[in-house]
Structure 1
Amino acid sequence: MRASFLLLAFLASFVVDQLYPTWTILKDIMEVEMFPFGNAHDGEGWSFTCQHGNGECRANMIHACAKDHFKDINIEMEFVNCLLSSDYPPNAGATCAAQVGQDWAPIDACVNSVEGENLLHEVAVEQEKLKPALYYVPWILVNDVLDGDGESQDNLKKVVCDNYTGTKPEACNSPAPPAQRPTTNKKSISPRMAIRLANRS
């Protein structure tokens, strides 16, 4: 049986405190695909309006461009954790690209061009295909069923392990590593994203 999850995380803390630590110990049994759009709206000419302003839209576009350029979930996960652990994600792209050993220039060019707009629009189109359709955040689906009790937000590692149908790895019996917290207070930019998780067979 293939267990799948879809999460719409409205807080950077979810990625830093739950998704990334779980990924570090269970990536051998997880497939993750992130869709950085969330509660944004695309308008005429693919201009975007985000719930928390232009900074949130820029952070979403940085992620969309990085995802397209990296084409590697391991690099993407490290980059996104860096981005969302930073003091201000819209300005952290260059630092985080360097941290994961990637060239920032093509990502920056994407963010500041129609390429980035097209990629973010593609993410929006994919998000609109969700069943059941998104109508609030955080939006969490486990095996295409709404996670009404929110367990994934509080203990994603347990949800992944409980839904994995193969032989459980030893990591399922140990606590997740602690999140790496930023050293200074963040400004109120928290990009939204949908995240699809599936257990590997």
Structure 2
Amino acid sequence: MAPAAPLAVLTLVALLAPGLGVALPGCDYPAHLWCSSREIAVACQAESHCANLSSPAAPPVELTLFYESLCPACRWFLVQQLFTTWLLLPAEALSITLVPYGNAEERNVSGKWQFQCQHGPEECLGNMIETCLMHEAKNFSAYFPVIFCLESGSSVTKNLDAVRPPSPSQGDVSLTSLRAPEPSSRPCFSPRQCLQVYAPQLDGGRIAACVQGDAGAALMHRNAQLTQALDPPHQYVPWVVING
């Protein structure tokens, strides 16, 4: 049994070949092929009608970036290549996932995850800030400009006190002690400044609470699992995976 013709094709037949079964001059193709190519559409006098038919949208390209918050090559790629590409393309063309972890290592100590990062403790903190930011914001369009701002500045973690809860719970580590010397060639943007400019609706206190609490460690452990599951394994960062 032949498949049923789409409604749009039946409409074409009704408009262009009244009575059905009457072949149009120069058109030796069945109605369901009239819009299969421009040449056939011309031969069957169906150009204007074929132009109005909606074609199924192609699925977005899925890009996953495995990176480190303080890796120079990662920062250059994210700021100069990925962010600008994202701005230029239609929203439905590209789906981006960011996984800040890279060449870090993790270990479980008394039921709590601890991390050692390639560029030191500040990078672990930067990875955690960006991971918690993504978790709290949920929407890629909300958090990607903030991450772009952080990675564009001299230090991802500078002035972290600006986004810390006003009354930290006892036992909190002084995260500001993890700062490293800052290169003078980059402008200085703090997490609070980036939030105020690009995502003022986000609660910096919630992000800081995530960074300091078990939620942040659990999210970073998830990033570690995603990175370790790469097949083939990553050999360097930035590491980009397309559609898979």
- Confirm or deny that 1:135 pairs with 2:242: no
Corresponding position of 2:76? 13
Residue pair 1:98, 1:104 contacting (<8 A) in 2 also: no
Corresponding position of 1:118? 218
Alpha-carbon deviations, 1:62-94, whole Å to 9, x = none? 011011000000011111101101111012222
The CA distance in 2 between the partners of 1:39 and 1:120, in whole Å, is 13
The CA distance in 2 between the partners of 1:69 and 1:49, in whole Å, is 24
- Confirm or deny that 1:35 pairs with 2:99: yes
Q: Indicate the SS of the match to 1:130.
A: coil
Root-mean-square deviation (CA, aligned residues, Å) is: 1.8
Alpha-carbon distance, 1:27 to partner: 4.3
Corresponding position of 1:64? 131
Computing the radius of gyration from Cα coordinates, the structure with the larger value is 2
Runs of 4 or more, structure 1, over 4 Å off, are none
Residue pair 2:62, 2:96 contacting (<8 A) in 1 also: no
CA 1:24–1:133: 2 relative to 1, 3 Å: same
Selected match of 1:95 from 179, 188, 193:
193
Alpha-carbon deviations, 1:151-173, whole Å to 9, x = none? xxxxxxxxxxxxxxxxxxxxxxx
- Alignment gaps of 5+ in structure 1: 145-201
The CA distance in 2 between the partners of 1:68 and 1:107, in whole Å, is 8
Question: What residue identity is the alignment partner of 1:115?
Answer: A
Residue pair 1:62, 1:111 contacting (<8 A) in 2 also: yes
Identity of matched residues, %: 31
The CA distance in 1 between the partners of 2:242 and 2:90, in whole Å, is 17
The CA distance in 2 between the partners of 1:70 and 1:19, in whole Å, is 19
The CA distance in 2 between the partners of 1:93 and 1:116, in whole Å, is 16
Residue pair 1:8, 1:140 contacting (<8 A) in 2 also: yes
The CA distance in 1 between the partners of 2:62 and 2:213, in whole Å, is 34
Corresponding position of 1:55? 122
CA 1:60–1:67: 2 relative to 1, 3 Å: same
Alpha-carbon distance, 1:4 to partner: 3.7
Question: What residue identity is the alignment partner of 2:83?
Answer: Y
Residue pair 1:70, 1:76 contacting (<8 A) in 2 also: yes
CA 1:52–1:33: 2 relative to 1, 3 Å: same
Selected match of 1:25 from 88, 94, 97:
88
- Alignment gaps of 5+ in structure 2: 1-57, 159-189
Q: Indicate the SS of the match to 2:231.
A: coil
Question: What residue identity is the alignment partner of 1:52?
Answer: H
Corresponding position of 1:75? 142
Corresponding position of 1:182? none
Alpha-carbon distance, 1:142 to partner: 3.5
